[in-house]
Chains A and B, each alone.
Chain A
Amino acid sequence: MFFLFLTSGLFLGWSLGANDASNIFGTAVGTRMVKFRTAAIIASLFVIMGATFSGAGTSNTLGKLGSIDQLAGAFIVALAAAVSILIMTRSGLPVSTSQAIVGGIIGWNIYSGTPTDISTLTKIVSSWISGPLLAVGFAFLIYKLFLALPRFLQIHLFRLDAYTRLGLITVGAFGAYSLGANNIANVMGVFVSVSPFHAVTVMGITISGTEQLFFLGGLSIAVGIFTYSQKVMMTVGEDVLKLTPQAALVVVLAGALVLFLFSSESLEQWLIVHNLPTLPLVPISSSQVIIGAIIGIGIAHGGRGIQYQVLGRIASGWVLTPIIAMVISFVALFFMENVFKQAVYLP
């Protein structure tokens, strides 16, 4: 029964892999700097690692927003998120899993009569804005540095090419790890408190139930990468965003840094110890972070050619996606409880 109900989460994972892997390896594959096979293997491996070992932080935050206590409820929340993503994508609107799942959880909160923790919600929503903004700043700085470096070091055109390839793979691996760590909460977060997995010890290493759940989610992302992301990557590289491989390296690095900052518990600890301001551990949209990074490069170029209406569309997604997901979640929970006679929350 658990695996049947988990399918909605696995589907979310699949769609995440199909779409978001292109944020990391899109230009690299699209410009033929990195082979798709290489990209897919690296992305899958590191997404799974990031999800399994660093996914807890963002999942805790989602858990604070609404701790879904029945398996059928979790199934519906993930399904509501998946369906709203489908609707938004079909209408050609920018959409993110992070925003959809939050809407789904709030829908569950309303249906079950659980109060929504406003401070957590504020933290999450403000991260949707601060995440891309941070990416703008990072990309701007890194790009300026990257422009100066080859000139300063007088790197040969051919060698620069080799370095860029290596960089795209390394940064892509880091990006995939951060994506897994940050976004696994969207895929599996709602199932954490209802998961039947127990900790197991293999060769002296204890793997917790949550880690097993996240590993499964990571696998579904990997399946998405292998089965569907190539098409999206070729589109990113050739049609939509024409970036040079060097610019892509900066974009992915800036994006990966932001995703990492919003998901790493150890980094948060380090910042606390050193009395530095911390960032909330919140799942954010990798697509929007990447768009932020591209805008950062645009600004570094003097701000020409930035299409500001894109920003308006993203902002509309921040409002529209959660509302749609919330409504679907609420209605579907009603059907699940009254038509299929499944408990969707603990009374």
Chain B
Amino acid sequence: MLFKKTKMLERKMDEFLDVTSETGLAFLEAIKNYFDNDQAKFNDHLKKINDLENRADVLRRGIESQLYTETLIPESRGDVLALLETTDNVTNQVKETILDFSIETPVVPKGLHKDFIHLTEHSVNAMDEVVKAIRHFLRNPMAVRDYLHKVYYYEKEADKVAEALKRKIFRTETLDLSAKSHLRFFIRHIDSVADKAEDVADRLTIYTIKRSI
């Protein structure tokens, strides 16, 4: 009985992390579709991200209420709760970004497509590594470090690409200020995904120290 509940909770947690990781992959695909001008596939990925985000919310709420109603891991449930919430912020950021692409359809000069995709790759990599870090935090806290430093690495790379991209845009004379501002908004959006992944990593650093004591 005791282990049945635990197993169910473990499964939910694993699924939550799968969903988060999958959202990242779908995000990268959607961005590529957007620049390839493949509207149908972009819409498919948009819908997928929406569904994944909803599923992540359901799972998160399920885990949270089970942790509290059954008083499981009373010592570290607060930490797990915060971890779920901050991870959910990453998924939300992805959903918001891709939705804005769909609504506002920013016009990106062809020469910048590669940079945008590059930026997205770094953000998705950061997201992916943080998911791996959480998986290890749950089973083998000693290995978390191996993934956290990668999260920080990709977040910095994303910042660098974002900065270079913004410089490039604001030095392009053929673009209106309104277009420049619009593009900057999307760069910030994509870069935020990496920043939010970094927030999760920051928390994980502390929780890992706590668990090793």
The tally of CB-CB contacts under 8 A between chains A and B is 46
A31–B10 contact, CB under 8 A? Answer: no
| Bound complex: CA A155 to CA B3 (Å) | 13
Query: Quick one: which of A33, A154, A155, A158 has the most chain B CB within 10 A?
Result: A158
Q: Which of B123-166 contact A (CB under 8 A)?
A: 137-142
Across the A-B interface, give the 6 residue pairs with the lowest CB-CB distance, nearest first.
A162-B6, A161-B73, A154-B139, A157-B138, A154-B140, A32-B74
B6–A159 contact, CB under 8 A? Answer: yes
| Bound complex: CA A238 to CA B11 (Å) | 32
Q: Which residues of B contact A158 (CB under 8 A)?
A: 6, 9-10, 13, 72-73, 138
Flag whether A244 is at the interface (Cβ < 8 A): yes
Contact residues of B: prevailing secondary structure: helix
B73–A157 contact, CB under 8 A? Answer: yes
A116 to chain B, nearest CB (A): 48
| Bound complex: CA A32 to CA B13 (Å) | 23
Q: Could you give 12 example pairs across A and B, Cβ below 8 Å?
A: A31-B74, A33-B74, A151-B141, A151-B142, A156-B10, A156-B138, A157-B73, A157-B138, A157-B211, A158-B9, A159-B7, A161-B73
Flag whether B76 is at the interface (Cβ < 8 A): yes
Q: Which of B69-88 contact A (CB under 8 A)?
A: 71-76, 80
What 8 new A-B contacts, CB under 8 Å, besides A154-B140, A157-B76, A158-B138?
A: A32-B74, A151-B140, A156-B6, A157-B138, A158-B9, A158-B72, A159-B10, A162-B2
| Bound complex: CA A157 to CA B75 (Å) | 11
A249 to chain B, nearest CB (A): 12
Q: Which residues of A contact B142 (CB under 8 A)?
A: 151
Q: Which of A32-73 contact B (CB under 8 A)?
A: 32-33
B49 to chain A, nearest CB (A): 28
Q: Which residues of B contact A159 (CB under 8 A)?
A: 3, 6-7, 10
Q: Which residues of B contact A155 (CB under 8 A)?
A: 139
Flag whether A292 is at the interface (Cβ < 8 A): no
B-to-A contact residues, CB < 8 Å: 2-3, 5-7, 9-10, 13, 71-76, 80, 137-142, 211, 213
Q: Which residues of B contact A200 (CB under 8 A)?
A: none
Flag whether A199 is at the interface (Cβ < 8 A): no
Which among B5, B71, B80 is the interface contact of A157 at CB below 8 angstroms? B80
Q: Which of A228-281 contact B (CB under 8 A)?
A: 244-245
| Bound complex: CA A161 to CA B139 (Å) | 12
| Bound complex: CA A161 to CA B80 (Å) | 13
A161–B140 contact, CB under 8 A? Answer: no
| Bound complex: CA A159 to CA B80 (Å) | 14
Q: Which residues of A contact B213 (CB under 8 A)?
A: 301
| Bound complex: CA A341 to CA B141 (Å) | 71
Residue ID in chain A nearest B14 by CB atoms = A156
Q: Take A154-B139, A156-B138 as given contacts and tell me if A162 and B3 are in contact as well, using a CB distance cutoff of 8 Å.
A: yes
| Bound complex: CA A156 to CA B138 (Å) | 5
| Bound complex: CA A162 to CA B138 (Å) | 14
Residue ID in chain A nearest B72 by CB atoms = A161
Q: Which residues of A contact B137 (CB under 8 A)?
A: 157
A170 to chain B, nearest CB (A): 12
Which among A31, A165, A245 is the interface contact of B2 at CB below 8 angstroms? A165
B7 to chain A, nearest CB (A): 8
B131 to chain A, nearest CB (A): 16
What does the 1/0 interface line of A152-183 toward B look like (CB < 8 Å)? 00111111011001100000000000000000
Q: Which residues of B contact A166 (CB under 8 A)?
A: 2
B2–A156 contact, CB under 8 A? Answer: no
Q: Which residues of B contact A151 (CB under 8 A)?
A: 140-142
| Bound complex: CA A244 to CA B74 (Å) | 10
| Bound complex: CA A51 to CA B6 (Å) | 36
A147 to chain B, nearest CB (A): 9
Q: Which residues of A contact B211 (CB under 8 A)?
A: 157
Residue ID in chain A nearest B9 by CB atoms = A158
A302 to chain B, nearest CB (A): 11
Q: Which residues of A contact B2 (CB under 8 A)?
A: 162, 165-166
A33 to chain B, nearest CB (A): 6
